[in-house]
Amino acid sequence: MIYAYYKQKLNTMTIQQLQQSNLHEIIKHAKDFAIKLHSDVNHKYDGLDYSTHLYMVYDTACQFSHLLPVEIKIEALASAWTHDLIEDCRVTYNDIKREFGETIAEITYALTNEKGRNRKDRANEKYYEGIRNTPGATFVKLCDRMANVLYARIEHTSMYNVYKRENEDFCSHLYTPDLQEMFTYLKKAV
């Protein structure tokens, strides 16, 4: 149900929002590349095809793309697709860089969790610092979190309470005034 909705919405948004750009092929390539690699490793999202999550992250990125500086908009939208590749798909930073260039590789790398035994270890201060210091990464991480929160709330998963508990700390680590609209949305979502 949710997968079909986001797939249909993405196709409509791609036509409406990206036709004017001759760079939209980068985003389409990132979409195809990420979906294939997540599928190749049989990575799931709450038992669903992982593309469900990727569609939701990209949809959120399109919704808030007006907050992105023009010079990073295409790369940030493409990174909505690639954001979990290093963490989940046995892909390296250099693989992403070869395929999409340094900016997308940097954003994807910044969103790759640290090693750790639990969520707090994996999302430590070094992790948040890397996100804050990488242009476009905070935007993509917020899109990722919003997609996770929305899914958890709609499907009534146990992760909703985890996101709710973590929200204040998560936001305090990443807050930036230029993305205030996203932080406000996230606060209301949990």
> How many Cα atoms are found within 13 Å in the side-chain-facing hemisphere of 145?
27
Q: What is the pLDDT of residues 111-130, one digit of tens each?
A: 999 999 999 999 999 999 99
Identify the pLDDT of residue 99.
95
Identify the pLDDT of residue 23.
55
Identify the pLDDT of residue 18.
47
Question: For residues 128 and 100, is the Cβ–Cβ distance under 8 A?
Answer: no
Q: What is the pLDDT of residues 7-62, one digit of tens each?
A: 455 455 444 554 455 458 899 999 999 999 999 999 899 989 999 999 999 999 99
Place of tokens 């990464």: 137
Count CB neighbours of 173 within 10 A: 18
User: What CATH number is given to the structural domain containing 165?
Assistant: 1.10.3210.10
Give the predicted TM-score (pTM) of the model: 0.88
Q: What is the dihedral of CA 90, 95, 96, 102, to 10 degrees?
A: 140
C-alpha 177/C-alpha 88 separation (Å) is 31
C-alpha 52/C-alpha 7 separation (Å) is 8
DSSP state of 144: H
> How many Cα atoms are found within 13 Å in the side-chain-facing hemisphere of 88?
23
Domain that holds residue 106: 2-189
Closest CA to 141 of 168, 115, 165, 107: 107
Q: Per the structure, how many domains does the chain have?
A: 1
